[in-house]
Chains A and B, each alone.
Chain A
């Protein structure tokens, strides 16, 4: 079945960068978008961006200049790197595949990666 398995929790200092991986299986990796969404403590879900089947990217304006989404098709894995971390970047980061239904809906999702930014 379709699975997205994310890398483990990270603790980073302010100003550092973090790179979260999303290893996929059970489908043709190059046939679907991968989306990244985060949820800070007590906050709602926030869309960060997406990477398309050709490797092109769309980023939310809030993250422009700080986020980079890449992929390695040889191992069916997507990556999200966030730089110049701040304390308010502390959140659970999710990857998700575009659904088989309509574009820009997300299904399924990875299990989430907790990133803690603290000095």
Chain B
């Protein structure tokens, strides 16, 4: 079975400061890892993915994530937060051979203030 943990329900950060949203995963086999963002009353929007290769993955809107195999983590980061980044962020995991079935975390609400 595969699972994802997002330990923080909410992260608060001031605009211009760096942000980190945490994610840890559990999966048998090599993981495929994703970050999605959800705005109110909208579906999920793809931000970035890790499949293989460099542990630092760059994605949309200046976001990046670092894959750490030994810690089974895939934390989302951004060097300088914007108020418009305020939204709900979901980490998800799949793995080879599962034909695309994704397991999502419970989400972390990011609040960026002026």
Chain B associates with chain A: no
